[in-house]
Structure 1
Amino acid sequence: MTPEAFFAAYDGFGERRSGGSGDLHSAQWLRDQVSHLGAVLVPTPFQRFTPGTATLESGGFTLHGLPLFDGGLTGPAGVQGRLGPLGSAAAIGVGEFHPGAASLPGNAFAQARAASRHAGLVIALRIKGDGLAPLNAHDQHAPFGPPVLQLAGHDAARLLALAEAGAEGRLVVEGTRAPAVSHSVRVDLPGAGPKLVILTPRTSWWTSTAERGGGILAWLTALRALASASRPRPIVALASCGHELGHFGARHVFDAEPALVRDASLVLHLGANLGAAEDPRLTVRSNVPDLAPRMQRALEEAGYPGGAITAATGGKANGEAHEVETRGGRYLSLIGSNPWFHAPEDRWPTSIDLPRAAAIARAVAAMSVLWAQAEPAPA
Structure 2
Amino acid sequence: MNPASFFADYDAFGDRRTGGEGDAAAATWLLGKAGATGAEARLLPAPFTRLTPGRAALEGAGFAFEGLPLFDGGLTGPEGIAGRLGPIGSDAPIGVAEMDPAAASLPGNAFAQARAESRHAGIVIALRTKPDGLAPLNAHDLEAPFGPPVLQLAGRDAPRLLALAEAGAEARMVAAGTRAPALSHSIRAELPGAGPPLLLLTPRTSWWTSTAERGGGILAWLAALKALAGAQRSRGVVGLATCGHELGHIGAHQAFAAEPGLATDAPLVIHLGANLGAAEDERLTVRSNVPGMAERMAALLGAAGHPAAPLEVVTGGKANGEAHEIEERGGRYLSLIGKNPWFHAPEDRWPISVDCARAGAIARAVAALSVEAAR
- Aligned residues of 1:58 and 1:162 also touching (Cα < 8 A): no
Q: Does 1:346 align with 2:348?
A: yes
What is the identity percentage for the equivalent residue pairs of Structure 1 and Structure 2? 71
Partner Cα separation in structure 2 for residue 317 and residue 16 of structure 1: 25
Partner Cα separation in structure 2 for residue 87 and residue 330 of structure 1: 40
Structure 2's unaligned 5+ residue stretches are none
Trace 1:286-325 onto structure 2 (pairs within 5 A).
286-325=288-327
Partner Cα separation in structure 2 for residue 129 and residue 293 of structure 1: 34
- Aligned residues of 2:196 and 2:262 also touching (Cα < 8 A): no
Partner Cα separation in structure 2 for residue 260 and residue 207 of structure 1: 29
Partner Cα separation in structure 2 for residue 256 and residue 6 of structure 1: 31
Partner Cα separation in structure 2 for residue 268 and residue 34 of structure 1: 17
What residue in structure 2 maps to residue 166 of structure 1? Answer: 168
Partner Cα separation in structure 2 for residue 292 and residue 356 of structure 1: 18
Range with bigger deviation, 317-326 or 26-35 = 26-35
- Aligned residues of 1:284 and 1:334 also touching (Cα < 8 A): yes
Trace 1:173-184 onto structure 2 (pairs within 5 A).
173-184=175-186
TM-score by length of 2: 0.99
Tell me the CA shift for residue 259 of structure 1: 1.4
**1:40 paired residue among 27, 39, 42:** 42
1:286-328 deviations in Å (ceiling 9; x for gaps): 0001111111111011000011100100000000000000000
Partner Cα separation in structure 2 for residue 335 and residue 260 of structure 1: 21
Tell me the CA shift for residue 127 of structure 1: 0.3
Q: Does 1:110 align with 2:112?
A: yes
Tell me the CA shift for residue 260 of structure 1: 1.4
- Aligned residues of 2:205 and 2:214 also touching (Cα < 8 A): yes
- Aligned residues of 1:103 and 1:136 also touching (Cα < 8 A): yes
Partner Cα separation in structure 2 for residue 73 and residue 368 of structure 1: 45
What residue in structure 2 maps to residue 25 of structure 1? Answer: 25
Tell me the CA shift for residue 59 of structure 1: 3.0
Matched AA of 1:365: A
What residue in structure 2 maps to residue 193 of structure 1? Answer: 195
Partner Cα separation in structure 1 for residue 103 and residue 325 of structure 2: 18
- Aligned residues of 1:59 and 1:162 also touching (Cα < 8 A): no
What residue in structure 1 maps to residue 9 of structure 2? Answer: 9
Partner Cα separation in structure 1 for residue 371 and residue 235 of structure 2: 10
Trace 1:165-244 onto structure 2 (pairs within 5 A).
165-244=167-246
Tell me the CA shift for residue 194 of structure 1: 2.5
Which secondary structure does the structure 2 equivalent of 1:214 belong to? helix
Partner Cα separation in structure 1 for residue 118 and residue 289 of structure 2: 35
Tell me the CA shift for residue 60 of structure 1: 1.9
Q: Which runs of 4+ in 1 moved over 3 A?
A: none
Which secondary structure does the structure 1 equivalent of 2:309 belong to? helix
Matched AA of 1:25: A
Matched AA of 1:156: A
Aligned length: 373
Partner Cα separation in structure 1 for residue 270 and residue 32 of structure 2: 22
Tell me the CA shift for residue 34 of structure 1: 2.3
Which secondary structure does the structure 1 equivalent of 2:318 belong to? coil
Partner Cα separation in structure 1 for residue 271 and residue 280 of structure 2: 23
TM-score by length of 1: 0.98
Which secondary structure does the structure 2 equivalent of 1:213 belong to? helix
Which secondary structure does the structure 1 equivalent of 2:358 belong to? helix
Instruction: Give RMSD over aligned pairs.
Output: 0.7
Matched AA of 1:364: V
What residue in structure 2 maps to residue 334 of structure 1? Answer: 336
Trace 1:97-176 onto structure 2 (pairs within 5 A).
97-176=99-178
Matched AA of 1:147: P
Partner Cα separation in structure 1 for residue 61 and residue 338 of structure 2: 40
Partner Cα separation in structure 2 for residue 58 and residue 123 of structure 1: 16
Structure 1's unaligned 5+ residue stretches are 374-379
Partner Cα separation in structure 1 for residue 240 and residue 150 of structure 2: 33
Tell me the CA shift for residue 58 of structure 1: 2.0
What residue in structure 2 maps to residue 247 of structure 1? Answer: 249
1:108-161 deviations in Å (ceiling 9; x for gaps): 000000000000000000001100000000000100000000000111111011
Partner Cα separation in structure 1 for residue 357 and residue 160 of structure 2: 40
